Structure formats: C-alpha cells, structure tokens
Amino acid sequence: MNNDLIQTFAVYALPILFAITLHEAAHAYAAKHFGDTTAYSMGRMSLNPLKHIDPIGTILIPIVLYFAGSPFLFGYAKPVPIDFGKLRQPKRDMAWVALAGPAANLLMALIWLLFGLTLGATHVQEAFFMRMAQAGVLTNLVIFAFNLVPIPPLDGGRILTSLLPHRYAYKFAQLEPYGFFIVLALAYLRVLNFWMGPVISVASSALQLLVSPLTFLLN
C-alpha cells in the first residue's frame, strides 16, 4: 500500500464513518419520532458506528469503486429496520423518515464546511485537517445525492413512493427487490453521473450561499 493511498484512507476514514453512521441513526430517530420503535428496540438508534457498519456496503464497495477509478465513491451501512406500518400515518411519515438520512448528511456537510472555514480563519497550517474538512464536505454531498436517487429502496425512492397516488405508489414500490441492481447498472453505465453531478452542485452552492456571510466576515 503506497503512501498516497494510506493518506487518502486516513483523510476519508473519519468523514465516511460519520457520514454513514449518522445517516442511519437519523433514520432511526425519525422513525421513533413518528411512532415506529423497531430500530430503537433493536439497539439501532445509536451513534455507535459498529451498530451500522456493513462489511460489503461500508468497506468493500467504496474500496472497489476507488480502485476502479469511479468519479464518485459511495457506500452504505446496514439499513435501519423500519416497520412503516407502525408509523402514525405510514404513507406520509415514510417520506419524513426517508428524508432524515440525507438531511443528516447535508447538515454534516455544513459542519465540515464550517470546520474548514474555521481552520482557514485561525491559520492552521496542518494540511491534513484541511483535506479532511474538504473530504467531509464531499463525502456527505455524495451520500446525500446518492441516497436521493428516486429508486427504491434508496431514500429518494421511498420519498417518491410517499408522494405518488396510492395506485402508482404500490406499483412503484414493487421495484424495491431489484432497486439495488438497477442502481449498480446505472453506476456502471455512468448514467448515475447525470443525477449525482447536478444534485451535488446544487447542494454545494446552497451551502456556500448559507455560509457566505461568515465567509465575508472572515475575509
């Protein structure tokens, strides 16, 4: 393992761990808020990364994509168990539970962005921490965009299912057993880039706009 790879791993390890763990924890907290205690009772409403790490999705897939030269690195944790039937208003609340994960990633991207601005303002010379801040922003924006792909079982697919009329929602939800393979095919064919790029760009611009007053003051 060469030095560049070791440095890249060190820079991205913590941001990826936080991004995936807090994404799943956010789903669990939202589910409990809306009436489903399944994840809570199974100990998955936790900030402990070990509760959420999936050997394939959290470790293997990002490594394979990195060595394959993919323009986007993404992965996933063990899905939080949610019984949508236990939500107070299942069809409506499904969207909020699904949205909680990407919202957590957007919030973390903002926190990493603020961390980077703070490093710059305090003239911290250690490049490693600045690279980690940049990795934190990028990682969370990628996971944010990926999970919003409107194909079940991804969060975007669940949100779309919630918004569709009942008849169409039922038919659309039947894609779920094949959704993972559909997404992999779209990623392999690079069709997914046409979604990822614009969503990341819009989210990044929104975050930059949000912190622009602070950026102005620090400059």
Residue 164 backbone dihedrals phi, psi, to 5 degrees:
-75, 150
Block residue for tokens 């095919």: 185
Point out the catalytic residue in the list 15, 24, 132, 135: 24
Q: How far is CA 78 from CA 18, 92, 162, in A?
A: 14, 24, 22
Q: Respond yes or no: is residue 24 known to be catalytic.
A: yes
Both tokens of residue 3?
A: 């030095």
Which of 135, 31, 182, 49 has the alpha carbon at shortest distance from 93? 31
Block residue for tokens 């007053």: 213
So which residues are the catalytic ones? 24
